[in-house]
Each structure stands twice: as C-alpha cells, then as structure tokens.
Structure 1
Amino acid sequence: MSRYPYGLSADITPTNSPSKLTKAQKSRARREPSGVFSLFSPPQIQQFREAFSLIDHDGDGIVGEQDLKHIFSSLGRGPSDDGGSDRGITFPMFLTMMGEHLYDFDADSELVAAFECFDEGDTGFVKCDEIRKWLGDVGERMDEHEIDKLLKGPFTRNGQFNYREWVKVLRVNTDNEESESQ
C-alpha cells in the first residue's frame, strides 16, 4: 500500500508517455480547439447540440449513414445512394455547416418576404386574423401561446399587423442582445 494519498507513488515518470498513448489519445492531443464554437453564443450551441442529438439516433456523436437514412425516411424521402463519405458528421462539423448556412441567411429580407405573401396591396400591413389562421392551421403549426409571442408587435386600431416595423424592431432587439452579451 502506498504511503502517499490517493494511491500516488513517488515515481515521477509520466504515466502517459508518448509511447504509452493510444492512437485516439495521440490524435486528440494534436487537435486544436475549433473556432466554430466562437461563432455562436452558449444558448445557440446548446440548441444546435439538441438538434444534433435528435439526428444522431444511435448517440455515438457522429451522424452516420444509418442516422441519415432514419431522418430521410421519417421525412418521407428516400435517401440517395451517392457513395458519400463513410466518416459521418461530427458535432463541430455540424456547427460549421450551420454557421455557413446562417451566415448567408438575411433574416430581415426573409421575414419581410414571408409577410409580403399575405400583403396583397403592398402596404406593409397584414390582417392579424389571417396571419393567426395561417400560423395555427398550415404547415408546421404553432399553438396560441407561440402565435401570441410572435405577433407581439405594432398593430393598428383595426387589427392590422405592421410587419415592416416589426422586422425593424426585431433587428434592433437582436443587435442589442448581441452587444450586451459581448
């Protein structure tokens, strides 16, 4: 029994000398942290991690061929057999793809374009009742609480939603949140 606490010994020879490291440990030791994590806030990374875990059905940390087949079949689509990579997608790779996709995404113009579909007169206003109906009944349906939260914004006296003003306010709030978190 050792006379040192926690079973330590006086031998100062490193236990993880390079010759004793496994291949995985050597690979891990050479890696540098990914800069992709600096692109997102911790809550965003957590949301992406949750989305990634939904796709990674076997929970091995890699979205592989079987995971993708499961996702495609749940979406009612057959996966293509293009002979892609056998390596799969890791979480840092997934974050990189999301970063590239979101970098190209112009939220203001996308939101305005979506609301313009309901604005037949190009007035900048849409009927609140019509938007509620579409959000609650079509596509990926939202519940009343989600709709109320989304449509918390500038209304006229006759129930028209000023979506252009709402997008401007949304942009200011997003910019303020980003500057406060830095």
Structure 2
Amino acid sequence: MKKASRKTKKKEGTKQRSQRATSNVFSMFDQSQIQEFKEAFTMIDANRDGFIDKEDLKDTYASLGTDPEEVIVQAFKLLDSDDKGVLNKNVLAELLTTQADRFSKQELQQMFDIAPIDAAGNLDYKSLCYIVTHGQEEE
C-alpha cells in the first residue's frame, strides 16, 4: 500500500473540516440561541404552516402596530434626498445589486416588471410600495 503524503493528508483534512462546518448551520449556535430562533420563527409564522409568507409578515407588522407599506416607503425615502417620491432606475439597480443583501438579476427584473417607471427612467417608489403590500390591480 502506498502511504499518503503530508500534503495529501492536509488537503483531505481541510476538505473534511470545511464539509463539516457547512453541513449544519445550527452547529454555530448554542442550544439556547437555537431555541430563541425557533420561538421567533413560531411567533412570526402566524398561520403555523411552517413557512413565513406575506400574510404572516402582515400579521406580525399589525401586531406591532406598524404599517408595512410605511416601513418600506421610509426605507426608500433614505435614498430620496430631494423628497420627490421617485428614484432613478439605474442608480437603484446599481445599489440593489452591489450592496448588502444583493438582488439577483432576476429579482431586480421582477421588481422593474411591477414598478411604475416613467419615460425618464424614474421609479415611483411610493406606488411600488403600495403594489408590494396590496397587490396589483387587475386590468
């Protein structure tokens, strides 16, 4: 039998550690933290179907006395220094695809498909927030 080299053993050991580290995200947390996550999830999952969906979030916001549409509008207003109610589509696309929780091209296109955008390329974020929270009107 051929003996494995040190380099091979080191490589295999690193591979096993990386697989072990990514195989269970909960291994990064202690039991009390995991229990807190489960409790928070249960509180938000109002209809108890095992998924947090749009209705669960609406119920959660309502129970906190928060209007989800207003929360989203306020987030967009941070980018609207002139308080015009619109943001340039290209500037917004650059920001959403390069910062923090980046949008994929598909997610960005989904937003642009429902967003009211004028001929100058300005996105009406107040109307978009209404559509996101209330749905689109059927034509």
**Same fold, TM exceeding 0.5?**
yes
| CA–CA separation in structure 2 for the residues paired with 1:86 and 1:134 | 33
4+ aligned runs moved over 3 Å, structure 1: 84-91
- Following superposition, the deviation at residue 168 of structure 1 comes to 1.7
| CA–CA separation in structure 2 for the residues paired with 1:86 and 1:161 | 41
Bigger RCO (CA 8 Å, 6+ sep): 2
* Counterpart amino acid of residue 28 in structure 2: H
More helix by share: 2
Match of 1:122 in 2: 83
Q: Secondary structure, in 3 states, of the residue corresponding to 2:87?
A: strand
Note the 1:3-14 alignment, pairs <5 A. Answer: none
Match of 2:44 in 1: 98
Q: Identity over aligned residues, as a percent?
A: 17
Note the 1:39-58 alignment, pairs <5 A. Answer: 57=24
| CA–CA separation in structure 2 for the residues paired with 1:108 and 1:90 | 26
Q: Secondary structure, in 3 states, of the residue corresponding to 2:102?
A: coil
Q: Secondary structure, in 3 states, of the residue corresponding to 1:151?
A: helix
- Following superposition, the deviation at residue 99 of structure 1 comes to 4.4
Residue 107 of structure 2: which of 146, 152, 159 is its match?
A: 146
- Deviation string 1:102-152 (CA, Å, 9 cap, x unpaired) is 333532112101111111111110010111001001111112111111222
| CA–CA separation in structure 2 for the residues paired with 1:85 and 1:141 | 30
In structure 1, the gaps of 5 or more residues are 1-56, 59-66, 72-78, 177-182
Note the 1:19-168 alignment, pairs <5 A. Answer: 57=24, 67=26, 70-71=28-29, 88=35, 93-99=39-45, 102-103=60-61, 104=64, 106-152=67-113, 153-168=115-130
Matched, 1:173 2:119: no
TM-score, normalisation: structure 1: 0.44
| CA–CA separation in structure 2 for the residues paired with 1:140 and 1:85 | 27
CA-atom RMSD in angstroms: 3.4
**Alignment length (residue pairs):** 99
In structure 2, the gaps of 5 or more residues are 1-23, 47-56
* Counterpart amino acid of residue 97 in structure 1: M
| CA–CA separation in structure 2 for the residues paired with 1:109 and 1:95 | 23
TM-score, normalisation: structure 2: 0.56
